[in-house]
Amino acid sequence: YVRNTNFSMAYFSGGGSKWQQQTKNKQIIGNQGLHFVSFVLARKGFNVAITSRNAKGADILIYNEDCSIVKTIQIKSITIKQYINVGQTSEKIGPEPKLMCDYWVFVNLSYAYPRCSVYAKEELQPLVTVDNNPGKAGKWSWWLPSNVSDNCLDEWDKIQL
């Protein structure tokens, strides 16, 4: 079996037109992005496993045929441009935020066909900033700028086992 590395988002129609989201439910929006990314990865020949929702850590695991290599993927689904929360700490000064997953995919669902920005952890880490003030729970949040969903569009070949 040879993995199809030529799978392209151009396969689908309606790429640039705006889409009116049918729900504001964050769980459903998250599921849309999660299952869309799972579909794309499976079409590219990866074994894909979706993890438990609302648990800390990866949303998707991809692995080789004998499970000797596993990579983790975090999915962030958005419907509007906004800063993206990627974690919290109880200490403002301390270690830099550590992104847990090997890959991050930001799925912009405001278009007729979802736009996906694909990042390796190493290229995303330098973009993380911390709040100036702690939130209600007394924790500082780590954020990514809203433009992360505009860059690295459909760069699926970054994802490797």
pLDDT value, residue 117: 94
pLDDT value, residue 131: 74
Burial zone of 119 (CB within 10 Å; 0-12 exposed, 13-18 middle, 19+ buried): buried
Please answer whether residues 28 and 35 qualify as being in contact, where contact means their C-beta atoms are separated by less than 8 angstroms: no
Strand intervals (E) in 5-158: 47-50, 60-63, 70-78, 84-89, 103-108, 115-120, 129-130, 140-144
Mean pLDDT split into 10-residue runs, the chain, 161 residues: 45 52 81 95 96 85 95 92 78 66 93 91 87 74 85 94 94
**Best CA proximity match to 25, nearest among 84, 109, 81:** 109
> What is the Cα–Cα distance from 65 to 76, expressed in whole angstroms?
27
pLDDT value, residue 97: 67
Please answer whether residues 9 and 109 qualify as being in contact, where contact means their C-beta atoms are separated by less than 8 angstroms: no
pLDDT value, residue 32: 92
> Residue 51: helix, strand or coil by DSSP?
coil
pLDDT value, residue 65: 92
pLDDT value, residue 37: 98
Please answer whether residues 113 and 15 qualify as being in contact, where contact means their C-beta atoms are separated by less than 8 angstroms: yes
pLDDT value, residue 106: 93
pLDDT value, residue 112: 82
pLDDT value, residue 141: 79
pLDDT value, residue 2: 44
pTM across the whole model: 0.81
